[in-house]
Structure 1
Amino acid sequence: MQNKEFLKKTQPVLYRILTRSFQEHKSSHAYMLVGNNTESITTFLAQSIICNNDVLACEECEDCRRIKEGIYPDLIVYDGNESSIKKDDVEYIQSEFKKSSFEGKERIYILKNIENSSPSAMNSLLKFLEEPQEGVFAILTTKNVNKVLPTIQSRCQVIHLLPESKTSIQLSLMNENVDEEDASVLAQLFHSKDACMEMKDIEVYEDTKIYALNFVEDLYQNPGNLLINTQVTLIKKYKNDKNVTRLFLNMLVLALRDLFHVKHSIPLTFTKHKELFAALPEDQKILKRIELVLDTIYSIDTNANLSLLMDSMVYKMMKGV
């Protein structure tokens, strides 16, 4: 999915602001994006400033490609999360942009996580913003606008991004080439794209996903396997790890919920497993089973014996709750 389509769906306010300002040739000389996961938005904004093929970035031309790859010669980027932005960094940008443009087009500097700047860098940036050079554009990002000088804010077009929703997290993950089902599952389990990206390639994620799907299948087709499989595959392998057990149980809630959804033509979280859920019998006690799993999740932090807690849940599941 192109960033343009992603923005339309996840940041409609920002998309309308940018479209209107670029259509009317009233783009700001300095933007400040406030929120989490500004990476793709920052790239798209930089592309839109340079690209001549559309109102906003076409994302396909040579200039758009080079900006995305970070090799556009009239683009300078610093990230406060990698190293605190210093006064020397700002002065370097100023000195470089006094020279002629390599491309004969606009020049852009991007300061990510601007809140992680030294006081002298903030003051130097303020002076730079107070006397903007023609054809020079600034894109600043921050997760905490309260740590940015009000005088800097006042010289930027400040745009507050919408908080991440489950849908926007899923679309963000798919934009990073995460498999559709994994994007769907991860977006339900975690509250940010960053948390999802940290988890997606970890063995425990794949394990708990498989265990949860197998649990649901065994529950209705081989209930005698439930107890031993849970103890051997989950409890023994992960040595009563509460976080792993909690992840498994949350996965199990999603899987049981899908079993309910498939019978009512509601889109599934486990998108690749529709046939599995469709083949299982309709369960009149499915909501009670989900409630049982949720109660078990709650009990994990009450210092209960984890192995006994799981055994109790499985026995109740097997007896029909």
Structure 2
Amino acid sequence: MARTWEQLEEIQPTVLKMVQNSLVKDRVAHAYLFEGARGTGKKDAGLLLAKSLFCQNPANGYEPCESCLNCKRINSGNHPDIHVVEPDGLSIKKSQIQALQEEFSKTGVESKRKLYLIVHADRMTVNAANSLLKFLEEPHAQTFAILITEQAQQILPTILSRCQIITFKPLPPEKMASQLVENGVTASMAPLLSQLTNNLTEALELSNDDWFAQAQKIVLKLYEVLKKNPLEAMVNLQENWFLHFKEKDQLDRGLDLLLLVFKDLLYIQIGKQEQIVYTSEKSRLEQYALQTSGRRLIEQMTAILEAKRKLHANMNPQLLMEQLVLKLQEGSSFV
């Protein structure tokens, strides 16, 4: 179910204000590019704009009523004058854009208006993009295009120049956390998830994922053994860490979780306990925070960020983690 105007306004107020102004002043662009991170509400906003244009009883002249036949059909994905194009496999192909053009050369089934959304517009093949470009260069009156992407830099500049670009900002972590709680995630888990992803669906999946629950325990255990001797930390890597974080994306997630431990320690040191994410470990973390310095924590966080960079540069994961552990222990008051 797509979000309502009120729900989306809460997470993307600037975007909704721009859309509202366009509708009220009757200056809706022929083509928009909605760009921003995954989970920021781009597709929902596209469908909301569609409902605003097709709604039979809009409130204040712009806000869809959500109850008329058109609003209901758009929500269920079967309005004859609204077309959604998504990648067929890995890409959007020229034949998909051509089929769209053929459809749009006919008059609207129920009104003169027609609207199309292209999801993951950055995945168009070169031929598909060139085909769309011709379409954008000669827009029909009352035809509207919404291109949606997380990678605006991958789209042809000639296409970008014909679109009004609207940027969707990441959801603030505190709003993300409250949305998670509304969706049944525990208040102790929500802050952690809101730091790891901006995508509500992904966060909800992680909250029910046994692998993720185990990952948190392994990360906290590694932090504990870092305070002991280097050999024990290396043994822990072999017996626990490498067995759990096998794939590159899993290791990346593990490094993120480890980084958040050090962030929590820093928050405790500067008196911002309300910002910690490992809330169930608060008393232990408060003890650990007494045993280190803010400068040392920043050095350790920098080392983890550097390890993430090396991971994406395809460094051997085992060597990377062994080097990181030594770096995290180096010069530390608790070795």
Question: Which TM-score bucket, shorter chain as reference?
Answer: 0.5 to 0.7
Equivalences for 1:79-98 in 2 at 5 Å?
79=86, 81-84=91-94, 85-95=96-106, 98=107
Q: Size of the alignment, in residue pairs?
A: 302
Alignment of 1:161 onto 2:175: no
Question: Is residue 12–residue 168 contact of structure 2 (8 Å, CA) maintained in 1?
Answer: yes
SS in 2 for 1:35: strand
Q: 1:211 aligns with which of 203, 214, 218?
A: 218
SS in 1 for 2:146: strand
Structure 1 unmatched ranges of 5 or more: none
Alignment of 1:276 onto 2:290: no
**TM-score normalized by the length of structure 2:** 0.65
SS in 2 for 1:72: coil
**TM-score normalized by the length of structure 1:** 0.67
Displacement of 1:90:
0.7
2:28 match: 28
Displacement of 1:114:
5.0
Displacement of 1:112:
3.7
Q: Distance in 2 between matches of 1:149 and 1:9?
A: 33
Q: Distance in 2 between matches of 1:177 and 1:218?
A: 35
- Paired residue type of 1:119: N
- Paired residue type of 2:279: K
Question: Is residue 32–residue 159 contact of structure 1 (8 Å, CA) maintained in 2?
Answer: yes
* 1:130-154: CA deviation from partner (whole Å, max 9, x where unpaired): x414xx543344534861646x955
SS in 1 for 2:275: coil
Q: Distance in 2 between matches of 1:146 and 1:243?
A: 26
Structure 2 unmatched ranges of 5 or more: none
Identity of aligned residues (%): 20
RMSD: 4.8
Question: Is residue 91–residue 124 contact of structure 1 (8 Å, CA) maintained in 2?
Answer: no
Q: Distance in 2 between matches of 1:204 and 1:261?
A: 27
Alignment of 1:298 onto 2:287: no
Question: Is residue 267–residue 276 contact of structure 2 (8 Å, CA) maintained in 1?
Answer: no
- Paired residue type of 1:123: K
1:234 match: 241
CA change 1:68–1:144 in 2 (3 A) is farther
- Paired residue type of 1:93: F
2:133 match: 122
CA change 1:238–1:100 in 2 (3 A) is closer
Alignment of 1:261 onto 2:267: yes
More moved, 226-235 vs 86-95: 226-235
SS in 1 for 2:102: helix
SS in 2 for 1:73: coil
2:18 match: 17
Q: Distance in 2 between matches of 1:244 and 1:114?
A: 28
- Paired residue type of 1:33: L
Question: Is residue 253–residue 294 contact of structure 1 (8 Å, CA) maintained in 2?
Answer: no
1:111 match: 118
CA change 1:124–1:202 in 2 (3 A) is same
More moved, 249-258 vs 199-208: 199-208
